[in-house]
């Protein structure tokens, strides 16, 4: 799909019950990213979601996967025997978060959820402006999600060409990170 078609799908996506994300893992695949960016970053990754039972907070993080092709097995990259987690985020409703424009029009997807890296734990400064609105592709089904990344710089929001899918792979493996 083109990025314009992905943006349209995002706007018309379906709500996600936050409880459907509790203690789950998703395989992520980047879409619409320029080739140079793909070479410098990644195409596939893992997003993990965890509900803190003490606070009720739904949060998550990313795990780097070996870039061995989309058909290759999902093998987490490790450091000292532990998966390399990064990009911690809080999961919040999108309502109240201003969205950037896409092709001159605001890209509203207030029915979804937002991964707010500014509220994530121990993120480096360059990740804090990152925001990922996500929606369900099918109504009432959180097994396949569509997301998009933008930067919230306070006075302005900057769209990126980075869309992604998240496909549920199962329950959270191992203890929560961070």
pTM of the model: 0.92
Q: Is residue 155 part of a domain?
A: yes
How far is residue 91's CA from residue 82's CA, in Å, rounded to a whole number? Answer: 24
Q: How far is CA 63 from the centre of its chain?
A: 11
Q: Which of 33, 52, 55 is nearest to 44 (CA)?
A: 33
Alpha helices in the chain (DSSP H): 3-11, 35-40
70 exposed, middle or buried (CB, 10 Å; 0-12, 13-18, 19+)? exposed
pLDDT confidence band for 40 (50 / 70 / 90): low
20-24, 105-109, 163-167, 172-176: range with lowest mean pLDDT: 105-109
Q: Please give the tally of structural domains in the chain.
A: 1
DSSP states of 62-122:
EEEB--S-TTS---B-EETTEE-EEEEEEEEESTT----EETTEE---TTSEEEEGGGSTT
Q: Is residue 51 part of a domain?
A: yes
Domain that holds residue 50: 3-171
Q: Which of 132, 128, 48 is nearest to 83 (CA)?
A: 48
* Residue percentage of the chain with pLDDT more than 90: 61
pLDDT higher than 70, residue 38: no
**For 104-113, how does the pLDDT look when each residue is reduced to its tens digit (9 = 90+)?**
887 888 899 9
**For 104-150, how does the pLDDT look when each residue is reduced to its tens digit (9 = 90+)?**
887 888 899 999 999 988 788 989 999 999 999 999 999 999 999 99
CATH number at residue 25: 2.40.128
Tell me the longest C-alpha to C-alpha distance in the chain.
46
Q: Is residue 134 part of a domain?
A: yes
Q: Is residue 12 part of a domain?
A: yes
Check residues 40 and 174 and name the one with the higher pLDDT. Answer: 174
- Measure the CA dihedral 61/67/69/71, to 10°: -50
pLDDT confidence band for 95 (50 / 70 / 90): confident
pLDDT higher than 80, residue 102: yes
Q: Mean pLDDT of all residues in the chain?
A: 90
How far is residue 103's CA from residue 54's CA, in Å, rounded to a whole number? Answer: 42
Q: Is residue 177 part of a domain?
A: no
Beta bridge partners of 135: 146
Q: Is residue 178 part of a domain?
A: no
pLDDT at 104: 81
Q: Which of 131, 139, 116 is nearest to 58 (CA)?
A: 116
Q: Is residue 14 part of a domain?
A: yes
How far is residue 158's CA from residue 96's CA, in Å, rounded to a whole number? Answer: 17
pLDDT confidence band for 39 (50 / 70 / 90): low
pLDDT higher than 70, residue 68: yes
**For 73-82, how does the pLDDT look when each residue is reduced to its tens digit (9 = 90+)?**
998 888 888 8
Q: Is residue 97 part of a domain?
A: yes
pLDDT at 45: 94
């Amino acid at each position: 799909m083109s990025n314009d078609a992905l943006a349209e799908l995002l706007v018309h996506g379906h709500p996600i019950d936050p409880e459907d994300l509790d203690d789950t893992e998703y395989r992520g695949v980047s879409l619409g990213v320029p080739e140079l960016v793909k070479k410098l970053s990644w195409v596939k990754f893992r997003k993990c979601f965890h509900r803190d039972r003490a606070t009720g907070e739904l949060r998550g993080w990313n795990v780097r996967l070996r870039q061995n092709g989309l058909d290759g097995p999902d093998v987490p990259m490790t450091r000292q025997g532990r998966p390399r987690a990064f990009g911690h985020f809080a999961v919040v409703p999108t309502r109240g978060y201003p969205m950037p424009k896409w092709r001159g029009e605001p890209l509203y997807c207030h029915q979804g959820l937002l991964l707010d890296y500014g509220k994530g734990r121990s993120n480096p400064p360059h990740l804090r402006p990152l925001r990922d609105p996500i929606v369900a592709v099918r109504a009432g089904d959180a097994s396949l999600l569509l997301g998009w990344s933008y930067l919230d710089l306070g006075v302005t929001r900057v769209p990126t060409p980075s869309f992604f899918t998240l496909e549920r792979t199962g329950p959270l493996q191992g203890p929560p990170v961070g």
